[in-house]
């Protein structure tokens, strides 16, 4: 099942695709004199697939270069998550007074940077660019954490990392089963266990600091 953030990105890609398709259909229905032209296929006809265009069996939606909208949304979502974890890791180095929390932040920064490097060639093929600015959600979280210090910072940082990382594990596991792009599917299969190990490390640190974790769904 796609997560809410990934599904939201699919809607954005879909709306863009429908805009162009709708404009083309309207132009075909009008003759120079303004009369309507019957150019729509009969219900029994099957639309001809354009050369170079592929269909995603799970979503039924693709871009002009054949990339699955679901794959594009997933990659864009992972880029945002990686950027968020790297920024949070930097903040942990500055604000935390606990060696284990600092170490967790450093490890998350390094591993997410490696994941980004792995995704870059896949993203280029799928025509997905990395975000240049933090999202509104990330800005709000960073502002909240910057106002905290000591044990309060550690608690909120651990909760934030655990929540985001847990969602990323679910998304990777789902993409490993449903991705249309073979390279992306393979990358998801490799990375899901790695982030699952990270999640276990976060949960151990949470126990050490007596941080109550949200219920797993």
The CATH number given to whatever domain includes residue 79 is 1.20.1260.10
Query: Which of the two residues, 57 and 206, has the higher pLDDT score?
Result: 206
Structural domain for 192, as ranges: 69-208
- Residue 169 falls within a domain, yes or no? yes
Say which residues have a Cβ less than 8 Å from residue 122's Cβ, sequence separation at least 6: 75, 181, 183, 184, 187
For residues 113 and 92, give the distance between their C-alpha atoms in angstroms, rounded to a whole number. 16
Backbone angles phi, psi at 30, to 5 degrees: -115, 135
Residue 135 pLDDT level (bands cut at 50, 70, 90): confident
For residues 70 and 6, give the distance between their C-alpha atoms in angstroms, rounded to a whole number. 8
- Residue 34 falls within a domain, yes or no? no
- Residue 121 falls within a domain, yes or no? yes
Q: Which one-letter DSSP state was computed for residue 180?
A: S
Angle (deg, nearest 10), helices 69-95 and 99-126 = 160
Percent of the chain's residues with pLDDT above 90: 62
For residues 86 and 92, give the distance between their C-alpha atoms in angstroms, rounded to a whole number. 10
- Residue 16 falls within a domain, yes or no? no
**Tens digits of per-residue pLDDT, 173-182?**
999 999 999 9
For residues 8 and 76, give the distance between their C-alpha atoms in angstroms, rounded to a whole number. 11
From residue 122, how far is each of 9, 133, 137, 206 by CA, in Å?
A: 17, 21, 26, 34
- Judged against a pLDDT cut of 90, whether residue 146 lies above it is answered with yes
pTM: 0.69
- Residue 9 falls within a domain, yes or no? no
Query: Which of the two residues, 89 and 64, has the higher pLDDT score?
Result: 89
- Residue 5 falls within a domain, yes or no? no
- Residue 52 falls within a domain, yes or no? no
């Amino acid at each position: 099942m796609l997560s809410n953030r990934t599904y939201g990105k699919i809607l954005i890609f879909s709306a863009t695709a429908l805009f162009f398709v709708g404009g083309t259909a309207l132009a075909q229905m009008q003759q120079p004199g303004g009369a309507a032209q019957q150019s729509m296929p009969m219900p029994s006809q099957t639309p001809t697939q354009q050369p170079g265009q592929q269909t995603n069996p799970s979503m039924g939606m693709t871009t002009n270069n054949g990339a699955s909208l679901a794959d594009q949304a997933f990659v864009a979502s992972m880029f945002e998550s990686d950027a968020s974890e790297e920024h949070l890791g930097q903040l942990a180095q500055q604000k935390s007074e606990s060696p284990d929390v600092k170490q967790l932040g450093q490890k998350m920064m390094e591993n997410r940077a490696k994941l980004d490097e792995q995704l870059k060639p896949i993203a280029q093929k799928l025509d997905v660019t990395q975000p240049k600015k933090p999202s509104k959600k990330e800005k709000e979280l960073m502002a909240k954490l910057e106002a905290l210090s000591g044990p309060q910072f550690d608690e909120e940082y651990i909760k934030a990392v655990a929540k985001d990382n847990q969602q990323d594990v679910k998304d990777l596991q789902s993409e490993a089963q449903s991705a249309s792009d073979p390279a992306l599917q393979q990358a998801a299969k490799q990375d899901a266990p790695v982030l699952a190990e990270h999640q276990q490390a976060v949960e151990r640190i949470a126990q050490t600091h007596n941080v109550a974790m949200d219920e797993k769904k």
